[in-house]
């Protein structure tokens, strides 16, 4: 293998593969954490306004904090992401109707409002075209030097594994958690922080990727049950494989051109989401 091919391999191919796998593992585990702490199978970063808030934070940092660098943009995106997620959690606590479908609809509505604010700001500052290309889930621009930030997700995934049993317990409610010796509020906050950071890292590095955190945990749960400690790494591995498969499909459909991965994931994810809803009703 000559030097040019080696450069392509290490500068472009390996970084892309690593970022796809880390993003897939991260978003799927973030999704199952959200489902556990909200005790709802249809809640995920996509349906809890987490991703939309992270996108708003990314745009905000691009406009008002030009000099902060990519790490600073991630921190600002994280702040917006965690605020949006906590707002969703507060709304969820206030709602008396705990229907499995109604709760994620609230999150989708909140995300729609935040998305509308993001679009308005983009139009106001004439950044809508740049914003669309920047925040659209796409791995085509991933090369060595601009993907390493997403690797910060790996320690968070390890922490998620250590807290898996506690996340399962708090999904049973505050009273049961207290009786079992688990600090409900602290564990809840840790879960929200992990989900928000992972979502921010993915949005800043490769853009928005929908539905991975929704469909993968449900697929594993249907087969293995709801024990997060037993399922968490299988969920992560399946999420990475799923995202890699979607990336390959996106590169083959109109080869040599490429369809952004968020479109492929969105189409597949929406059909699976509808299937899960109808399956739940039955």
Q: Collect the ranges in the chain with pLDDT lower than 50.
A: none
Helix intervals (H) in the chain: 3-8, 14-38, 50-64, 69-94, 102-124, 128-135, 153-162, 164-170, 174-179, 184-206, 212-224, 228-252, 261-281
User: How high is the pLDDT of residue 23?
Assistant: 92
Q: Report the residue count for the chain.
A: 282
Q: Which residues contact 249 (CB under 8 A, 6 or more apart)?
A: 264
- As assigned by CATH, the class of the 21-136+149-281 domain is mainly alpha
Distance CA 46, CA 171 (A): 19
Evaluate if pTM is beyond 0.85: yes
């Amino acid at each position: 293998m000559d030097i040019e091919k080696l450069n392509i391999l290490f500068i472009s191919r390996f970084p892309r593969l690593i970022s796809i796998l880390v993003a897939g593992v991260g978003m799927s585990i973030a999704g199952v954490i959200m489902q556990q702490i909200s005790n709802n199978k249809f809640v995920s970063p996509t349906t809890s306004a987490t991703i939309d808030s992270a996108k708003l934070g990314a745009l905000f940092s691009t406009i008002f904090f030009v000099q902060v660098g990519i790490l600073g943009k991630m921190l600002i995106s994280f702040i917006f992401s965690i605020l949006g997620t906590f707002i969703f959690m507060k709304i969820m606590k206030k709602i008396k109707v705990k229907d499995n479908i109604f709760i994620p609809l609230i999150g989708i509505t909140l995300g729609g409002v935040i998305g509308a604010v993001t679009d308005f700001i983009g139009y106001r500052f004439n950044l809508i075209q740049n914003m669309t290309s920047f925040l659209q889930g796409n791995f085509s621009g991933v090369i060595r030097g601009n993907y390493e930030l997403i690797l910060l997700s790996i320690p968070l995934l390890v922490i998620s594994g250590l807290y898996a049993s506690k996340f399962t317990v708090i999904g049973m409610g505050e009273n049961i958690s207290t009786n079992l010796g688990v600090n409900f509020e602290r564990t809840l906050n840790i879960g929200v922080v992990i989900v928000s950071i992972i979502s921010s890292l993915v949005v800043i590095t490769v853009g928005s990727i929908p539905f991975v955190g929704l469909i993968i945990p449900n697929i594993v749960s249907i087969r293995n049950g709801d024990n997060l400690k037993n399922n968490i790494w299988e969920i992560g591995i399946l999420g990475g494989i799923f995202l890699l498969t979607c990336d390959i499909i996106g590169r083959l459909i109109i080869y040599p051109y490429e369809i952004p991965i968020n479109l492929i994931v969105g189409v597949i994810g929406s059909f699976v989401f509808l299937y899960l809803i109808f399956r739940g009703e039955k």
